[in-house]
């Protein structure tokens, strides 16, 4: 089936706009850092707590030990890698977790406070604060 020139031109423009959008895509700022204690708010691990092992800002995901475990069927490679069913930790989206405040111990959102009245070396630095109790986080 032969498409008209106008149709082909329209498709090329769509592809071009998509690649342009991909180039302009920014990495989201992660408010959860490595070592933070979190609680899962949705999914199969809802209600479970854990510490953040790794942050992947490009994908907006986190790796938390013991959370979002999957079973992987591995083929035997050699004597060192016997194969079988192996438990593996998979990344979980940052929108599915909430930070647990070290002060009040409740799930909270993260806010920022810009320090102004400090010495010149620390002036203008942002500090993470708990939105519930307004205390400093880590």
For residue range 111-132, list pLDDT tens digits in order. Answer: 998 877 656 556 678 889 999 9
Lowest mean pLDDT of 6-10, 36-40, 66-70, name the range.
6-10
**45-69: pLDDT as tens digits:** 999 999 999 999 988 999 999 999 9
Helices marked H in 63-136 — which ranges? none
Taking alpha carbons only, the member of 91, 88, 82 closest to residue 70 is 88
Domain boundaries, the chain: 29-100, 105-138
24 band by pLDDT with thresholds 50, 70 and 90: low
Q: 97-100 and 37-40 as β-strands: parallel, antiparallel, unpaired?
A: antiparallel
What CA–CA distance (Å, rounded) separates 126 from 115?
A: 6
Average pLDDT, the chain: 82
pTM over 0.75: no
Among 19-28, 48-57, 98-107, 121-130, the minimum mean pLDDT is found in: 19-28
Task: Please tell me the distance from the alpha carbon of residue 97 to that of residue 36, in angstroms, as a whole number.
Answer: 11
Tell me yes or no: is domain 29-100 CATH 3.40.30.10. Answer: no
């Amino acid at each position: 089936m032969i498409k008209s020139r106008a149709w082909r031109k329209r498709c090329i423009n769509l592809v071009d706009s998509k690649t342009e959008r991909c180039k302009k895509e920014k990495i989201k700022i992660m408010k959860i850092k490595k070592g933070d204690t979190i609680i899962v708010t949705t999914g199969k691990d809802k209600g479970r707590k854990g510490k953040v092992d790794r942050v992947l800002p490009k994908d907006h995901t986190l790796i938390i030990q013991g959370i979002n475990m999957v079973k992987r069927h591995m083929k035997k490679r050699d004597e060192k890698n016997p194969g079988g069913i192996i438990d593996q930790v998979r990344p979980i989206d940052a929108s599915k977790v909430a930070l647990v405040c070290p002060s009040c111990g409740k799930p909270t959102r993260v806010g920022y406070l810009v320090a102004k009245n400090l010495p010149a070396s620390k002036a203008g630095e942002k500090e993470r604060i708990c939105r519930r109790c307004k205390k400093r986080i880590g």
